[in-house]
Amino acid sequence: MIYLDNSATTRPFDSVIKAVSDNMAENFGNASSLHGMGVRAEKVLKDAKAVILGKLGLDGNIIFTSGATESNNTVLSGIPAAHRHGGNRIVTTSFEHPSVAKPLEKLSATGYDVVKIRPPKRDEPQDFEQRVINAVDGNTLMVSVMWVNNETGFITDTAKIYNAVKRINPKTFVHVDAVQGFCKLPAKTLRADLISLSAHKIHGIKGIGALYCAKGTRFEPLLYGGGQQGGIRSGTEPIDLIAGFAEAVRSYPDCTEKYAELNERLISRLSQLDGVVFNSYGNAKNILNFSVRGVRSEIMLHFLEEREIYVSSGSACSKGKTSGVLAEFGVSDKDADCAIRVSMSPSTAENDIDALAVEISNGIKRFRR
Ligand code: PLP
């Protein structure tokens, strides 16, 4: 089996499965309990926070959530609710994940001025960050930009945006959905007041995510209840999943060179095939989006699946429907219909890339009209 759909989700590392099951079996206490079992559970929580902060290279707080969808919703409902006089403008991009785009639609309907900055097309000046910065004014409550786009891999220099935004309006909150970049890109281009993370994209378990908050960042909770996690996110902390999240962060190796080499290999193999065009540019090297002209994504996907090669037709969230994100990157509807996304993991090997290219070539011979 060759699994190349790691932007959708990943196979948990063996060390993660062990950490989760060990904690389920032996460390099932409630972190709020005052006895020793509670103290042990609380220690797992504290250690996990330290591991994630260490990887981010930031000071501040980590709130555990059920995933990045919850982290994004927490920010986009909680910041406006806690800062009603903090400004009416929200600057974002036209290629956000639906867990950012949909809450923003709601805010727009309630009167917020939501400004969406589109990415540069491949042959345009690569001035995306500057256009985001130019949209920020004294009335801007928040900037919300993703670090790495889940469909094309496009990278945003969030540190550049953060530094400039704080000079223009120190009160503007900067939020980054860092799901697809975390552990895969060096943290130096990541800077924000609020950062959304998800464990299952880095070989942790589904159902656990985090929200990084810079010191002093105030927002209204999304969930009210027993007041866990300082009252910011109620609900008994899933210590086992949290232990697995921390283990995933610890175990994710530096794949910078590996991904660059595999990406180059894939591009070189696919370039030899007639009618393959690349939709990714300025991208993280673990993600490559391309179109195989004349063969619809769904047909190619199932052809590859029969050969036990798993890729995606775009983003898993759009379930086969064109999400509109590729159009933002200048991909025609016709090419978007034939788009394939390959996303790698630390265990992806050169042989996997070669086998994929061979089967795509076979698929073209079989199906292209
Ligand atoms: N943000 C991005 C960029 C994603 O790719 C995803 C998952 O596909 C999410 C947010 C949602 O993450 P989760 O599945 O943890 O809710």
Q: Taking the mean position of all CA atoms in its chain, how far away is CA 227?
A: 28
Q: What is the CA radius of gyration of the chain?
A: 21
Q: For residue 62, give the 3-state DSSP assignment.
A: strand
Q: Hey, which of 9, 179, 197 would you mutate to test ligand 1's pocket, going by the most ligand atoms within 8 Å of its Cβ?
A: 179
What mean pLDDT do residues 273-284 have?
96
Secondary structure (DSSP) of 108-137? HHTT-EEEEEPPPPTTS---HHHHHHHT--
Q: Taking the mean position of all CA atoms in its chain, how far away is CA 6?
A: 11
Bridge partner residues of 310 (DSSP): 3
User: Locate tokens 């009335």: which residue?
Assistant: 139
CB of 68 closer than 6 angstroms to any ligand 1 atom: yes
**Closest ligand 1 atom number to CA of residue 209:** 15
- pLDDT, residue 171, reads 97
Task: For 137, list phi and psi in degrees, rounded to 5.
Answer: -135, -175
User: Locate tokens 């389920």: which residue?
Assistant: 24
Residue 178: which of 255, 256, 68 has the closest Cα?
Answer: 68
CB of 150 closer than 6 angstroms to any ligand 1 atom: yes
Q: What is the pLDDT of residues 224-253, one digit of tens each?
A: 999 999 999 999 999 999 999 999 999 999
Measure 65 CA to ligand 1 centroid, in angstroms.
12
Residue 159: which of 125, 116, 193, 109 has the closest Cα?
Answer: 193
Give the integer Cα–Cα distance in Å for 338 and 300. Answer: 8
Secondary structure (DSSP) of 175-211? EEE-TTTTTTS-GGG---SEEEEEGGGTTS-TT-EEE
Confidence of residue 126 (pLDDT cuts 50, 70, 90): confident
Give the integer Cα–Cα distance in Å for 268 and 350. Answer: 12
Q: What is the pLDDT of residues 67-80, one digit of tens each?
A: 999 999 999 999 99
Q: What is the pLDDT of residues 300-345, one digit of tens each?
A: 999 999 999 999 986 444 555 667 899 999 999 999 999 999 999 9
Q: Where are the alpha helices (DSSP H) in the chain?
A: 14-26, 36-56, 68-82, 98-109, 128-134, 158-168, 239-251, 256-271, 297-306, 325-328, 333-336, 350-367
255 is catalytic: no
- pLDDT, residue 316, reads 47
Give the integer Cα–Cα distance in Å for 69 and 116. Answer: 20
- Percent of the chain residues past pLDDT 70, beyond the cut: 97
Q: What is the pLDDT of residues 147-183, one digit of tens each?
A: 999 999 999 999 999 999 999 999 999 999 999 999 9
**pTM of this structure:** 0.97
Mean pLDDT score of the chain:
96
Give the integer Cα–Cα distance in Å for 342 and 276. Answer: 14
What mean pLDDT do residues 356-368 have?
96
Residue 199: is its pLDDT beyond 90?
yes
What mean pLDDT do residues 14-23 have?
98
Q: Hey, which of 97, 145, 155, 208 would you mutate to test ligand 1's pocket, going by the most ligand atoms within 8 Å of its Cβ?
A: 97
- pLDDT, residue 320, reads 54
- pLDDT, residue 241, reads 98
- pLDDT, residue 340, reads 97
Return all residues near 213 (Cβ < 8 A) that are at least 6 apart: 60, 61, 62, 63, 193, 194, 219, 232
